Amino acid sequence: MRIEVPPSDTQLLAAGTAGDEAAFGQLFERHARAVYNHAFRLCGSWSVAEDVTQTTFVTAWRRRREVRLVDGSVLPWLLVVATNAARTEHRSRRRWHALLRRVPPEPEGTSDPADEVADRLRDEQRMRDLLALVRKLPRAEREALALCVWSGVGYPQAAAILGVTEGAVRSRVSRARSRLARMVAADTEEER
């Protein structure tokens, strides 16, 4: 029975340097946990340690021709790269926090975007409710209401568009308003 010896870091690195992604993947599988644990101890954050580990192996792939083995292992070189990546990450976070401290606070009375979204949703719901009531009006009253009240068309122009007298348009708008007021009042009573 022949026992197969796994390839050494030296062999995997040589194959990886030649462009063998699978060999480099084996180096990753072999050392990723140690690099990750090292990064976590440096950063104290699981998510930052993941980023540092990723950066370490991307750097190793890009600089694979420059990797130095120590006693036949690539791990010491990877740990140095991880340490540098963790330092860079720490500096970036420190700069980011310093920048945030320099940002002036929001002025008093500044609205929260979430409030604006909630207001818009309430407005849309009110409009849907109103449209449901308007659809109950006779067609002639709906048209007059839409032209004169909602779109601001004058009574004479609306009369010309609708092919009726100005008095008829005024009457239709008046009746539409009265009916809507009664329907809104009835809906309000039902909600109580």
Do 13 and 96 sit in the same domain of this protein? yes
Residue 48 lies in a domain: yes
φ/ψ (deg, to 5) at 151: -100, -5
Give the residue with greater pLDDT, 116 vs 72.
72
pLDDT at 160: 87
Q: Considering only CA atoms, which of 71, 180, 88 is closest in space to residue 135? A: 180
Average pLDDT over residues 64-84: 91
Average pLDDT over residues 160-169: 91
Q: Considering only CA atoms, which of 11, 38, 41, 36 is closest in space to residue 26? A: 11
**pLDDT confidence band for 123 (50 / 70 / 90):** confident
Do 91 and 153 sit in the same domain of this protein? no
**pLDDT confidence band for 166 (50 / 70 / 90):** very high
Residue 129 pLDDT greater than 90, yes or no? no
Domain count for the chain, please give it.
Answer: 2
φ/ψ (deg, to 5) at 44: 75, 15
191: burial class by Cβ within 10 Å (0-12, 13-18, 19+)?
A: exposed
Q: CA 59, CA 51: separation in Å to the nearest integer?
A: 12
Give the residue with greater pLDDT, 43 vs 51.
51
Residue 95 lies in a domain: yes
**Structural domain for 167, as ranges:** 136-191
The segment with the largest mean pLDDT, out of 52-61, 68-77, 156-165, 177-186, is: 52-61
68 token code pair: 């130095």
Average pLDDT over residues 3-10: 88
pLDDT at 146: 83
144 token code pair: 């007059």
Residue 54 lies in a domain: yes
Do 95 and 153 sit in the same domain of this protein? no
Position 70, amino acid: V
At a CB cut-off of 8 Å and minimum separation 6, what does 166 contact?
155, 156, 158, 159
pLDDT, mean over the chain: 88
Do 97 and 16 sit in the same domain of this protein? yes
Alpha carbon of 82 to those of 10, 21, 30, 119: distances in Å? 20, 21, 15, 48
- Which CATH number goes with the domain that contains 158? 1.10.10.10
- Which CATH number goes with the domain that contains 24? 1.10.1740.10
Do 141 and 84 sit in the same domain of this protein? no
Residue 59 lies in a domain: yes
